[in-house]
Structure 1
Amino acid sequence: MTLTSTTVMEKERVWIPGHTFTHGTTGLLVDMKRAASLMNQFQRVAYVHQVQDGHHPHLTVQETINYYLKLSDTDWAISELLKLFDLTAEARMKVKKLSETKRNTLSFIRAFCASGDWVVIEEPFHRIELEGRYAVEQILRGMQRQGKSILLLSTNLEDLLPVSDSIYRLDERGIHKMEFKDDTAPLNEEPTQLKVNKIQVKHREKTLLFNPPEVDYIESIDGTVYINVAGIAYTSSFTLTELEARLQHYGFYRCHRSYIVNLQKVRELVSWTKNSYSIKLDVEKTTLVPISRAKLSLLKELLGIS
């Protein structure tokens, strides 16, 4: 039971790669434009839940649930679903009078009752306040118990972490599985030495691990080091000097006192004046990184240009 995306080309480059998602609940960190394209692809083979999905505002919550139960021909009891969706107290309330969080939670009834093996959900916690997030998590687990596989599309990593079995990131270079370090190791264990083939960063309260080729560039701003991957800046606990030593064998170059650049991402040297240059990176959003005049000659040598 799999769900496969079709390769999409844009300007002679792969914009969305073909990829097969397997059984379970998979999170996909993706921008809005690519998410819309994927949802359009999957309409034919899965139930697709979009953030703008709404209801008949003049029906009550109970009537709405009953309506979709009849359409799906399932044997769920309305009382069970009201409890699962945390809407028991609002059962006789008209949909138009619900809070935004409750209304958006109710919108999952279509996906919950839909037939088929796969459900694709856009932004699972869109405009849902903290008190409603637990209900959404329970709804997703209820879908899993039905044997459904779920693909969650979001621009926010934090929305994917608590509900996904595995998480991937989609950008202009393809689909990459994201790896996470377990921060719950006993305090009395000896710390392990950082492996050079992984770059450790912090995102909110999570520790992420990237492969060096995924990194576009590294910068230091007001004493904080940021590692830039696919348009997102992640904070690092290492200094630029430490990262320079760890990454130089992977084709990274300290081009400025505040910047380290992945030489594989260099697209162009931009000349502003006779002695002033910047590096243009081959990434989705135009990015210019400054280069010190003293570093220019060696950079040209490393890139093999005159």
Structure 2
Amino acid sequence: MDLEIGTVIGKPTEDKIQLVNGKTYAVQMPYDYFERLSEVVRDSDANVFTNDIPVYKRITFKAHIHYFKKWYNSPLKVDDLIQQFRIETPDEKLSKQNKNEIQKLNYIQALLTDEQHIVFIDPFLHTINDNIHLFHKMKEQLIDQNKSLLVVTSRLEDAFVLQSDVMKINEDGLKIVETSENTVDDKEVQNTKIKVKANDKTIFVDISDIEFLESQDGKVYINLDGEKFMMETTLQNAEVELSSHGFYRCHRSYIVNLHKVKEIITWSKNAYSVIIDNHEKSKIPLSRTKHNEIQERLITL
């Protein structure tokens, strides 16, 4: 099965993901693409699982499993699945189950389905660690069944929960997320990318993609695509390192990428904000003494 990236982002590109049986894929993309992705993969021979799980709350957990087993004609045993996924009250109606218990139905159905390609959308969002461990056990079984597993997340850190090899989809298409494990730290990387931390992994992000940096509790974070990543540096050192790339220290706690600035708002005589051109329209404080200088920098950018 080939996932054409152009159909997901809504613009022409030759990028695609070829889903091969027995392989797993982790992809991070903006939430805005989720609905389109779901439509694309549902039109193919894939089974899509989201956090919005359609269930009949008047029947029991065990009855749901029996229904899936019969529907897909699966050889897996119901009692084995109940034990594996630690279903404590299998004879209780789903109306009395919490969302973390109901989420396990997705994992069970994925094992029972006869589809060869399984797609999970944001499975680690607001879930508990026990369910993440169960998800990984399910993943191993899917591979043993020679099925492919595509996990799509809105947060890059969640993609790394699945595996170390991660891809990213944005308006520019598909690319591999560079980490210290798959990237040579050469001069070109040093000039165009910067090291940050994501889920205890060191990754490289394009400097041009950074929207702004902020200092919180003595730590420096970069912001891009609605996510924060920690830099092992000080804001002062980051200012020196990034100044030649069009970044500007607009406040004692913030550095902005001037290429990402949409407008400057005057709230009162002494209160200003820089508006970042992103989905959240982030409002970054602007020091009164920096108001004139940043406008000059924007004009000459």
What's the TM-score once normalised by structure 2's chain length? 0.76
2:107 alignment partner in structure 1: 108
1:69 alignment partner in structure 2: 69
Say how many residue pairs are matched: 290
Question: Quick one: which amino acid aligns to residue 152 of structure 1?
Answer: V
1:138, CA displacement in angstroms? Answer: 0.8
Matched, 1:141 2:137: no
After superposition, the C-alpha distances for 1:195-250 in whole angstroms (9 at most, x for unaligned) are: 45332233454443312111111123454322111222333221122112222232
Tell me: CA distance 1:264–1:42, structure 2 relative to 1, closer, same or farther (3 Å). same
Alignment of 1:198-217 (within 5 A): 198-203=193-198, 205-217=200-212
Contact 2:15 2:173 in 1 (8 A): no
Contact 1:25 1:166 in 2 (8 A): no
Matched position secondary structure for 1:74: coil
2:49 alignment partner in structure 1: 49
Alignment of 1:73-222 (within 5 A): 73-87=73-87, 93-96=91-94, 98=97, 100-125=99-124, 128-164=127-163, 166-170=165-169, 176-181=175-180, 195-203=190-198, 205-221=200-216
- Aligned mates of 2:57, 2:282 — CA distance in 1: 46
- Aligned mates of 2:36, 2:47 — CA distance in 1: 15
- Aligned mates of 1:239, 1:2 — CA distance in 2: 44
After superposition, the C-alpha distances for 1:38-97 in whole angstroms (9 at most, x for unaligned) are: 22332211211122224344555444333222222333344543444344x656x24435
Tell me: CA distance 1:175–1:277, structure 2 relative to 1, closer, same or farther (3 Å). farther
User: Which of 247, 250, 260 does residue 265 from structure 1 map onto?
Assistant: 260
Structure 2: stretches of 5+ with no match in the other structure: none
After superposition, the C-alpha distances for 1:132-187 in whole angstroms (9 at most, x for unaligned) are: 332222112212222222222334445432323533445566555433446xxxxx
Question: Quick one: which amino acid aligns to residue 18 of structure 2?
Answer: T
Contact 1:95 1:103 in 2 (8 A): no
What's the TM-score once normalised by structure 1's chain length? 0.75
1:285 alignment partner in structure 2: 280
Structure whose residues are more often helix by fraction? 2
1:186 alignment partner in structure 2: none
Contact 2:8 2:36 in 1 (8 A): no
Contact 2:120 2:150 in 1 (8 A): yes
- Aligned mates of 1:166, 1:285 — CA distance in 2: 28
1:98, CA displacement in angstroms? Answer: 5.0
1:3 alignment partner in structure 2: 3
- Aligned mates of 1:272, 1:101 — CA distance in 2: 44
Question: Which sits farther off after the overlay, 224-233 or 127-136?
Answer: 127-136
- Aligned mates of 2:252, 2:124 — CA distance in 1: 41
User: Which of 232, 238, 250 does residue 245 from structure 2 map onto?
Assistant: 250
- Aligned mates of 1:295, 1:116 — CA distance in 2: 58
- Aligned mates of 1:172, 1:283 — CA distance in 2: 13
1:20 alignment partner in structure 2: 16
